[in-house]
Chain A
Amino acid sequence: MSRTVCRHFLCAVTLVAGVLAGRYTQSVSAGPTAATASVRFAVIGDSGTGATEQYDVAAAMAASRGRLPFEFVIMLGDNVYGGWSRKAVADKFERPYKPLLDAGVQFYASLGNHDASEERSYGGFHMNEQRYYRFTRSNVDFFALDSNYMDGSQLAWLEQQLQASRASWKIAFFHHPLYSSGERHGSEKDLRHVLEPILIRYGVQVVFSGHDHVYERVKPQHGISYFVCGSSGELRRGNLDKRSDLTAAGFDQDRTFMLIDVADDTLQFQAISRTNQVVDAGQITGTPRVSPSASP
């Protein structure tokens, strides 16, 4: 009973905090363009199958660089299925993304439940031995988290890093979605309970996750835009719950990846299918916001 009351109280507090923050609105319009200098990246999740479809998505990503020359890719976990070996990483990462790697595109990984700990040491994933880490591009701070094991140390680290961040945009990415209409897994409520208050408090604007093998843009929750992009290799066709109130847009008929372009106060996004069809596009407009300097 007390647990339920606590949760409701927490939800109410976070909702009020989100409304008071009033940081941005989400609107759907045209997708990214390459007109201004900006932070451009791609997003893939649950990619490392080594199957033909992963190679198709990789080829579509390489082709899309002509339209939007992204500089790096964030990986939402399940980067190499089936255990770690030199052959596995070659078949499931190095070969499919060779055109991108050869072009100097860098990959930043987060860990999924199918990923081996060896991935932290693999240079191609830029994790520097860490389960969770932060990196910065221009006015954007990225927080890669390990949602498999969200212990006190990681939560404390995240809070400290977010508090120190002075970036206009704060983007978090990790494997398990706080909100999802995937019927296989759905929303990770336990994770949401511990993580969401921190994301709200420190003004994280966008969160990318995988785990459910679909694409979904979730309606903004407490002022945060959530995307599920877990179909860049795996796919659970027809797995989006059509009755879900969470979905702003979704696609569960083929593999997808995302392209993101952040310039000043606007983040433009596209979700693109394996066959190069744009299945969702829009923009998020945010007012640059500085983290609170001290904990209350």
Chain B
Amino acid sequence: MFIKRMRLIVLPSAIAMAILLSTRVVASKGATPMDTVTVALFQDRIAEYVNMRRQCAQSLTLRGVDPDASDPATFRQALAASIRLARRHARPGDIFYSAIAPRILQLVRSELAAREPEERRAIFAEVPRVLVLRVNDRYPAGEPIATMPPALLLLLPPLPPELQYRFLGRTLILLDVDASLVVDVLPYSLPRYP
């Protein structure tokens, strides 16, 4: 009877421990480089965006909107409006396309899972929680921008200076820095807050 009871306790505990340990190993192993084809196709889409953006900026300059004006906000707002118009049909997943999205998601989650709980808490503490932004929304003025964990940044595919990865709520967004525009979103990138 006692042995049977012990089995009931010990066996599930051992299985749970094994799963936990294997998850941790997977988590550590998860931060492996992505395959080059998937990343190359992602970067093609990034390059396409940057090219479109450059054309928007050039057309603004031709129309007399001065990027070097005394108030930098004027040009940036005009740039955001121009990009938004050019991408009026943009949808989530246009840049975080179907092949890259799960890879990035897995990479983010496994990298965070491999950290100490204290580190995870520090990262999550700085992420604005209540905001829900869609593609082509502007990042709200005055809202702090969450610091990106440098070790994670070094694992993600590099971006040109016009774009940055940022967390907002549980979503990873692709942010146009100067236009303060959400270029794409990858929902549920972050696990639930601890």
Contact = CB atoms under 8 A, between A and B. Distances in A.
Interface stretch (A22-30, A54-62, A134-142, A189-197): A189-197
Nearest to B146: A113
Interface string A250-280: 0000000000000000000000000000000
Cβ-closest 9 pairs across A and B: A83-B142, A83-B141, A121-B72, A150-B150, A118-B72, A194-B150, A82-B142, A113-B144, A190-B149
Interface of A: 1-3, 81-86, 113-114, 116-118, 120-122, 131, 147-153, 155, 176, 185-186, 188-191, 193-195
Nearest to B31: A3
B130 interface: no
27 contacts: A2-B28, A3-B114, A84-B73, A113-B146, A117-B76, A118-B76, A148-B147, A148-B148, A149-B147, A149-B148, A149-B153, A150-B153, A151-B153, A151-B158, A152-B154, A152-B158, A153-B158, A153-B161, A155-B150, A155-B154, A185-B122, A188-B122, A188-B147, A189-B119, A189-B122, A193-B151, A194-B151
Contact of B73 (A85, A150, A153, A176): A85
B141 A186 contact: no
Q: DSSP majority for the B interface?
A: loop
B178 interface: yes
B23 interface: no
Nearest to B69: A121
- Bin chain B's interface residue count: 20 to 34
A114 B146 CA distance: 9
Contacts of A3: 28, 114
A239 to B, nearest CB: 15
Contacts of A118: 72-73, 76
A236 to B, nearest CB: 14
B53 to A, nearest CB: 14
A117 B178 CA distance: 6
B147 A151 contact: no
Interface string B74-114: 00100000000000000000000000000000000000001
Given A86-B71, A121-B72, A113 B119 contact: no
A113 B145 contact: yes
Interface in B45-70: 67-68
A188 B150 CA distance: 10
A86 B69 CA distance: 12
Contacts of B114: 3
Contacts of B143: 83
B144 A149 contact: no
B43 interface: no
Given A86-B71, A176-B147, A190-B119, A1 B142 contact: no
Contact of B28 (A1, A84, A186): A1
Interface string B143-179: 1111111110110001101001000000000000110
Nearest to A118: B72
A155 B148 CA distance: 14
Given A82-B142, A117-B178, A151 B154 contact: yes
Nearest to B76: A118
A23 to B, nearest CB: 25
B150 A190 contact: yes
Contacts of B147: 113, 147-149, 176, 188
Contacts of B73: 84-86, 118
